[in-house]
């Protein structure tokens, strides 16, 4: 059961940085990352995420990496309880691999991700290409991703749906001065298939009820602007804003501000704040007076905002990096009667070994 997204979003591989990954590393260089994170909220949901990832620079100008991730989810959230279902637990396992290459002055990325849990299996591929222009002060990148999802229903041998997602991104990054980098990215995504949840039902005030029904197609557009600027020799600010609209009538705004400061030769502190506001989908209603063509009980389609922030402390040794972080968020649902708000905390740590 996907907690946050009905649709498995296309993972557009981060083409940004591909050049640094390939050009700045010697053949044989690599790293091994391991991270553990705990998500907990006051809606009776916990997720423990364990990640192991590794990459290696090959003799050719190619960096390959692979990762394995396990989400151990336990939930008795209001969505679960209101469907008269007891607490459930499950594991989601994700495996992925990616290759980044520098070829004919182009940065190329090719990746594959597979994810599986008891009622959902997905496979995704992503391609990316980038080129530096104007003495490397300008970079343009394009990416495409495709994910195919097979959706089931726990313990139900009959229920089987599909969801196919295509996504593309075009971005432009520009060095503005010796200490400033700005970027702008446009993302479009089209998904077709089953977008609802087989576990959610909608009841009308007139006594009717039925399974949640969402449109079979969804087109999303987003523009993201980002500005990175060094404020002196030890401090960097990273500000971004994202505007989003889709064919279901959802529009949203996301603003984020992060400040990173060097606390010494080997210690960094990052302070981050984030805010989000979303208008509901056109067909979403807190309660339906009569059955409608499309009906949803998904709070992710309601009107809501969230705000949060966090701290991250990272220590850089010669071959070892250690990081710890804690983030907190408050979610406020403005037209979702079963849950007015939610407080969530994510804390975790990781260690990286470089050679």
* Residues of the shown chain interacting with other proteins in the complex, contacts defined by CB under 8 A: 82-85, 153-159, 188, 201-204, 206-211, 215, 217, 219, 221, 223, 243-249, 251, 253, 277, 279, 281-283, 290-295
Residues in the chain: 355
DSSP 3: S
Q: How far is residue 354's CA from residue 317's CA, in Å, rounded to a whole number?
A: 10
Tokens read off for 252: 């949203």
* Least Å from the CB of residue 281 to other proteins: 7
* Least Å from the CB of residue 192 to other proteins: 12
Q: How far is residue 165's CA from residue 192's CA, in Å, rounded to a whole number?
A: 7
Q: How far is residue 93's CA from residue 71's CA, in Å, rounded to a whole number?
A: 7
Between 39 and 248, CB nearer to other proteins: 248
* Least Å from the CB of residue 254 to other proteins: 11
Q: How far is residue 86's CA from residue 291's CA, in Å, rounded to a whole number?
A: 27
* Least Å from the CB of residue 93 to other proteins: 22
Q: How far is residue 227's CA from residue 297's CA, in Å, rounded to a whole number?
A: 37
Between 256 and 352, CB nearer to other proteins: 256
Between 291 and 317, CB nearer to other proteins: 291
* Least Å from the CB of residue 230 to other proteins: 28
Q: What is each CA distance from 45 to 94, 279, 306, 308, in whole angstroms?
A: 20, 25, 17, 18
Tokens read off for 283: 């067909």
Between 28 and 291, CB nearer to other proteins: 291
Between 146 and 283, CB nearer to other proteins: 283
Between 215 and 328, CB nearer to other proteins: 215
- Residues 6 or more apart in contact with residue 26 via CB below 8 angstroms: 57
* Least Å from the CB of residue 7 to other proteins: 15
* Least Å from the CB of residue 114 to other proteins: 25
Between 144 and 277, CB nearer to other proteins: 277
Asked whether the beta carbons of 32 and 76 are under 8 A apart, the reply is no
Q: How far is residue 14's CA from residue 21's CA, in Å, rounded to a whole number?
A: 11
Between 43 and 94, CB nearer to other proteins: 43
Could you write out the three-class secondary structure of 33-95? EEEEEEEEECCCEEEEEEEEEEEEECCCCEEEEEEEEEEEEEECCHHHHCCCCCCEEEEEEEE
């Amino acid at each position: 059961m996907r907690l946050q997204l009905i649709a498995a979003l296309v993972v557009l591989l981060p083409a940004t940085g591909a050049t640094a990954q390939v050009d700045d590393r010697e053949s044989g260089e690599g790293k091994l990352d391991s991270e553990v994170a705990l998500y907990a909220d006051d809606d009776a949901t916990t997720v423990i995420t364990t990640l192991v990832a590794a990459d290696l620079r090959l003799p050719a100008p190619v960096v390959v990496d692979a990762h394995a991730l396990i989400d151990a989810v336990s939930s008795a959230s209001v969505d679960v309880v209101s469907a008269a279902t007891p607490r459930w637990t499950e594991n989601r396992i994700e495996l992925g691999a990616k290759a980044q290459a520098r070829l004919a002055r182009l940065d190329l990325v090719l990746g594959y991700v597979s994810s599986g849990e008891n009622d959902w299996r997905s496979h995704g591929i992503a391609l990316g290409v980038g080129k530096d222009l104007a003495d490397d002060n300008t970079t343009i990148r394009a990416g495409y991703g495709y994910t195919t999802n097979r959706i089931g229903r726990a313990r139900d041998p009959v229920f089987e749906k599909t969801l196919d997602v295509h996504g593309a991104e075009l971005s432009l990054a520009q060095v503005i001065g010796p200490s400033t980098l700005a970027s702008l990215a446009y993302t479009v995504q089209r998904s077709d298939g089953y977008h609802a949840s087989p576990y959610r039902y909608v009841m009308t005030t007139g006594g009717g009820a039925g399974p949640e029904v969402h449109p079979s197609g969804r087109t999303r557009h987003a523009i993201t602007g980002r500005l990175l600027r060094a404020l002196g020799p030890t401090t960097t600010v990273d500000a971004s804003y994202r505007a989003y609209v889709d064919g279901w009538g959802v529009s949203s705004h996301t603003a984020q501000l992060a400040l990173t400061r060097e606390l010494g030769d080997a210690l960094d502190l990052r302070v981050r704040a984030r805010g989000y506001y979303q208008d509901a989908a056109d067909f979403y209603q807190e309660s339906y007076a009569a059955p409608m063509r499309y009906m949803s009980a998904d709070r992710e389609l309601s009107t809501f905002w969230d705000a949060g922030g966090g701290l991250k402390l990272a220590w850089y040794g010669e071959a070892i990096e250690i990081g710890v972080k804690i983030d907190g968020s408050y979610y406020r649902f403005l037209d979702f009667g079963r849950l007015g708000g939610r407080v969530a905390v994510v804390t975790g740590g990781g260690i990286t070994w470089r050679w």
